[in-house]
Amino acid sequence: MQDDCNLVLYNGNWQSNTANKGRDCKLTLTDHGELIINKGDGSIVWRSGAQSKKGDYAAVIHPEGRLVVFGRSVFKIDPWVPGLNSLRLRNIAFMNNMLFSGQVLSADGRLTARNHQLVMQGDCNLVLYGGKYGWQSNTHGNGEHCFLRLNHKGELMIKDDDFNTIWSSRSSSRQGDYVLILQDDGFGVIYGPAIWETRSQRSIAAKEKMIGMVTGKL
């Protein structure tokens, strides 16, 4: 969101074409999944025009270099609710905070956001470190060479080396593209399906850095 009021996706060949059409502009993602650029006086300069039902949405830079708005959240991992074993944060390396449909986390693969880590451990347990209580799938020792995959119906699944399902989020929805975002507040949330996206060229730079935006935040 540039100072000249133009929203530009660099290395993605897209812009809102709103240069010099306002001052003190800001970009907002509404709770209906619409991106809106407002001037400093509140008047609307540009909108994506993609409205859906009220809920929590997410706008992210896809690895292919597209800005995509993903639909309402269908599943949430909450590390602030008691009842599971309290899990302390371990000293593990930084990684991106998003998993897209079709992507997997293999053994010791992880998502990271601030001091929160979602780890697909080698013991077949999916663990969220951080928050007051943490969270886990309680699948320790239930399989070998396990991996986590987000499918195209918004469902997270842990599968073993023989593709047996060890655990599922049971959040299956309609067919489409989804994204799991480990947010800065420690919640792991699945958004989708995608309801709007830019038309852009494949971008190597976008693969190296993924950027996330959730409803109502810059």
DSSP states of 109-177: EEEEETTEEEEE-TTS-EEEE-SSS-EE---TTS-SS-EEEE-TTS-EEEE-TT--EEEE-----SSS-
Please report the pLDDT score of residue 133 as a whole number.
75
Please report the pLDDT score of residue 62 as a whole number.
85
Neighbours of 109 (CB within 10 A): 17
Please report the pLDDT score of residue 79 as a whole number.
73
Q: For the chain, which ranges sit under pLDDT 70?
A: 80-95, 199-218
Please report the pLDDT score of residue 132 as a whole number.
76
How many residues can be counted in the chain? Answer: 218
**pTM metric for this prediction:** 0.74
What is the dotted CATH code of the domain comprising 56-197? 2.90.10.10
**Helix/strand/coil for 15:** strand
Please report the pLDDT score of residue 75 as a whole number.
83
Please report the pLDDT score of residue 87 as a whole number.
42
Please report the pLDDT score of residue 218 as a whole number.
42
**Helix/strand/coil for 206:** helix
The closest of 110, 107, 115 to 96, measured between CA atoms, is 110
Domain boundaries, the chain: 1-54, 56-197
171/73 Cα distance (integer angstroms): 10
Question: Are domains 1-54 and 56-197 of this chain identical in fold?
Answer: yes
**CATH architecture group of domain 1-54:** Orthogonal Prism (2.90)
